[in-house]
Each structure stands twice: as C-alpha cells, then as structure tokens.
Amino acid sequence: MACNLTRSRAEACKDSVSGIKRLYFADFGSFGTVTLTNDEVTDMTGTTIGSDSNAVVLHTYEVKGTNSFETTVNASRDNGTVFYEQTLSITLKKLTKEDHKELKLLAAARPHIIVVDQNDNLFLMGKENGADLSAGTVSTGTAMGDFNGYNLTFTAMEVSPPNFIETGGFGQVDYPLDLMAGVAGDAGVVTVGTPAAV
C-alpha cells in the first residue's frame, strides 16, 4: 500500500452538527460480499434467509441524547502497524423484559452496525470483524428523575476507519441499503424492522 498523500483540506464551514439519529443492527456476515468504491460502501450481496436469496435483515434502533460514535487511530512506528478502534456508546431509555432478552443476544453476538449521524451520514461499524458489546449497565435509577434504562458500549477493531455507505436518503425504498444493487429492489430483499414502542 502506498503511503503518499492524495489531497489537501480547507477549513470546514460551520454547517454540521453532532450526535446520532438512528442505528441499524445486522447479524454478522449477513451483508455477504461488501463492495467498496473509493472507501465507500457501494454494494453488497446479502445472504440467503429462508427462501430469499440476496437478503438482509436490519433491526432499527432510534436514539436521542447522549450517544456517540468515535474512532481511535492506533498506530505504532516501532511495530509498523495501524488499526482503528471503533466505539459506539448508546443510551436506551426505559427497562423492558423484551429489551433484557435482546441485550443477552447483543452481548453474545458480534453484529454489523450502521450508524446514522445527525448530518445523515451513514457509517458501517465492524465491517470485517463485527462489533462486540464490550461494556454496559442496566440502571433503575435512584430518585424519581434519575435515568432508567441501558447504557451500552460496542467496540470494533478494524484495519480501516468505518466506511461511509452510499444512499439516496431517508425515505427511499430499502433505506439505508437503497443503492446496494445486490440486495435492493428486485435483486434481493431488504427487511428493515420498525422500532418497537416501549
């Protein structure tokens, strides 16, 4: 891999905001072969689910408030290595028996996670190795106004930063995978779960 730089960068305009809007969880390996064009996810093949080929099932989580997605660059001149630690910290308000059951599944699995930020950028977390639920708390709170719910931290170790995902935008059929020709439209089946009310 060449290490020569390829572009310059001007000071950015003040037109972006921080935070996360929505998350999509998919079982590890269910994206099939993922195609990158200029480090952006532009296609995927999906897997066979039941009688459907080229299928992907996504579980939607709506989030608001203190949620973050960060990537730490870990580079060692001495070892000649570099890797990227992706960390997703989310807060899910309110405790439910259904969420307790799902928490056990999330802790045992290593899903791929699509992170949608407040600027409508989509990032693929855990593209090659999946993401692990590495820490979390289940809190009832103490006083009447205290937080009641789940604080979860997912981590992924990857050889590259999280890739952007190409999309036509929220509201498109098969969003957030609407431009993935291998699974969207007539080519396959994209099932996006509706967030359950709690």
Paired sense of beta strands 189-192 and 40-44, if any: unpaired
pTM of the complete model beyond 0.75: yes
Please work out, in degrees rounded to the nearest 5, the angle formed at the alpha carbon of residue 169 by the alpha carbons of 44 and 71: 65
Tokens of 128: 């090659």
Of the listed ranges 5-19, 63-77, 127-141, 158-172, the least confidently predicted one is 5-19
| pLDDT (tens digit per residue) in 148-182 | 999 999 999 999 999 999 999 998 889 999 999 88
Token pair 């949608």 is found at 116
pLDDT score for 4 = 82
Please compute the mean of the pLDDT values over residues 58-63 and round it to a whole number.
Answer: 95
